[in-house]
A and B are shown apart, each in its own frame.
Chain A
């Protein structure tokens, strides 16, 4: 029973991260700085929201409500997403940096979950891993081009990185029941994941001419996993559920 609850906690935080970042990505639809980028963020939104649905389906199999109910009827305090994903899209440099930092974390998360002892999760992780490769490839291309572009692009990317960094560390907020998942080989744990992530993003950021804030100043921004969100999440949820709320019983 304990391991079921721990598993649900893991699935909720992943599904909620996917749904919220997916919604934020979709906010670039029609606004992207160039057509290809508009399409890229819209496509990634579609991938993320599709992935969240499959994760909510896994929760449904474990006795939680169905995907639509879970996605559209909870308040901000019931979401387990990290604070990082709920931040507004901001300047394009911020959206790109978040895309880079978040998607490398996801890439490594699903890479490791392919070996999860919980077989239904391992199956979806294999699928998502193949898709997210395109997200990290896209992110790395742009971070590299703009990090090494001209003075203005470099400065914008560096400022966004400085701002995003502590939020990105917040992705890896350790869960209270994580030890059970580690012991049962369901998940490697946030600490191990963060290490893999640092090993992956550090050389890529350096190669893009960007500097990671010095270790002494790191202050991970936690809270999202336990429902303590910023003022940005509730308005996002109200917008996302606006149509659903008009008639929750409608058949689409």
Chain B
């Protein structure tokens, strides 16, 4: 009998291709696991509508589960039914984001303002004395910051 917890544990090994320290489970994009005998249907929700890693992650899920001989047919769909927000990132996910050198997103940001983004904690020295340089970074989910304390430029994971 294949359990949802078993599949979830398997999917923890599938990492975000742009932030390889975080699994797609900890990123919070796995919104549905339906098991029918040995067949598994996984539902993902997009982080950003224009994220180019979306299709890649669908393929990674299929490939990873297909390699498991205990499982039958694997299908994946992307659905907007559950809206992804950065609050879906797990506490373990926050640690993984920091490990990659990114500032984790603030929680419960129902209103995003310059003030919220300005007050991003430096992932290197934990100082609050930082300033935001741009709300757009090298990928859609990142913003650019500078730490006035350790004089280090860093990137933040944007709260949405």
Contact = CB atoms under 8 A, between A and B. Distances in A.
Interface of A: 36, 39-40, 42-44, 46-51, 53-54, 120, 123-124, 126-128, 130-131, 133-134, 137-138, 141
Contacts of B144: 36, 39
B136 A36 contact: yes
B32 to A, nearest CB: 14
Contacts of A43: 136-137, 140
B49 A44 contact: no
A40 B134 contact: yes
Given A123-B83, A130-B85, A137-B112, A36 B133 contact: yes
B80 A54 contact: yes
B135 A40 contact: yes
Contacts of B137: 39, 43
Interface residues of B, number: 24
Contacts of B158: 134
Nearest to B86: A130
Contact of B114 (A49, A53, A54, A137): A137
Contacts of A47: 48-50, 140
Contact of A130 (B114, B138, B160): B160
B18 interface: no
A126 to B, nearest CB: 4
Contacts, number: 72
A39 B138 CA distance: 7
Given A47-B50, A127-B84, A131-B49, 17 more contacts: A39-B138, A40-B135, A42-B136, A46-B50, A47-B48, A47-B49, A50-B50, A123-B83, A126-B83, A127-B49, A128-B49, A130-B83, A131-B140, A131-B160, A133-B112, A133-B160, A138-B136
B133 A51 contact: no
B134 A39 contact: yes
A127 B80 contact: yes
B21 to A, nearest CB: 22
Interface string B132-160: 01111110100010000000000000101
A137 B135 contact: yes
A126 B83 CA distance: 7
A43 B135 CA distance: 10
11 contacts: A40-B134, A46-B140, A47-B50, A49-B50, A53-B49, A54-B80, A131-B48, A131-B160, A134-B136, A137-B114, A141-B114
Contacts of B49: 47, 50-51, 53-54, 124, 127-128, 131
Contact of B134 (A36, A48, A120): A36
A138 B137 CA distance: 12
Nearest to B80: A123
A39 B135 CA distance: 10
Contact of A127 (B83, B136, B140): B83
A189 B80 CA distance: 24
B46 interface: yes
A219 to B, nearest CB: 34
A44 B136 contact: yes
Contacts of B136: 36, 39-40, 42-44, 134, 138
B46 A127 contact: yes
